[in-house]
Structure 1
């Protein structure tokens, strides 16, 4: 097994042992998942979920209704998701495409070849790669890996990926090294890992120091020396 594949499998097994299956995406229908993927852009899932519930309560979780509803009315319902005016436009545009080209049917959408469907959805204004891949995976059951901020944070800290690696580069690495396509669930946030299941316990893997951590430690040590200051090179010099 290649080193990256081996490390990936061990990290995943540790997370799975700690948390079990995450049953993500939390939605009753495929269309709710699609709308949720748009609403959660640049905001916590808690806020996005409130916006979803508002749409549901107003009877608006219907692609045909959303496709012909004024964006201002949609925006009023999705205020908790932030950037609600932009997201309202995106939701209406997506709903129009979903109805016109896929009959408002998730099965029709899922039947389209993955790369062709991905390209079409990326052409919808306001839908980026993470949003589209979330729709492909969680609403259409396509075996794609969704890269998010926590994916980047965890694996760059372990030196397995460069912190500035592109979305496509990260996605390709996972796709090429996953034992089975589509089996890796969304990773939990690093700060929510229980102590006994910290990733540091994965054998032979040690996280790299957090960027800036060494500098902060030097500042603290130097601050304890009366009348001293830390230079740009990391030296603690007396001001007297």
Structure 2
């Protein structure tokens, strides 16, 4: 792989990070995509990859220096707040350009009914007794919802939880993208009254919000956590242009 333009570390785990790695390879960079290791079978990524954490900002800074990287791209999930803070600190220490690649948040569309909340605890409190829930917040944070005996529903995730679901709950293992027809059928088949989701943005999972509007399902929308200020772009193509400008490529 050509690397005339230098090495770029991508903190990945998103579709945008995967697309960016391919663009950087084609443009003559040598990308290394770092994955947290949460998903056991991630989609193929061009360029070099690594799995696992760094050991905080100190470890990340050391990895950047030892790997002779020219730039750091934070293309993690919009809710991966901790690693974004570590990236900001590590880039500052190493005096490297940091660019965040992050899809825009979803915006409330006409006819949709949202209750916006700051975190998972508030989302749990927002659900009334008897709610039939479609829960799409990933597998790591579902346990408190499943523990509430007065609600039930479907918890959709990519990887299994590692423990059996509570009575009244069904676990659905599925990987996006999800189409509108399938989302409408899912809501109807399970009598869903409430959708609990994170404001991850993107088109791969936007159909559930459209389906909720059509079905009259209430949405409990968890806001994104605050992140440190960083130059942010919404698509891989724009990031490539900016990276060329920053590095004088």
The normalised TM-score by structure 1 is 0.23
Structure with the largest fraction of helix: 1
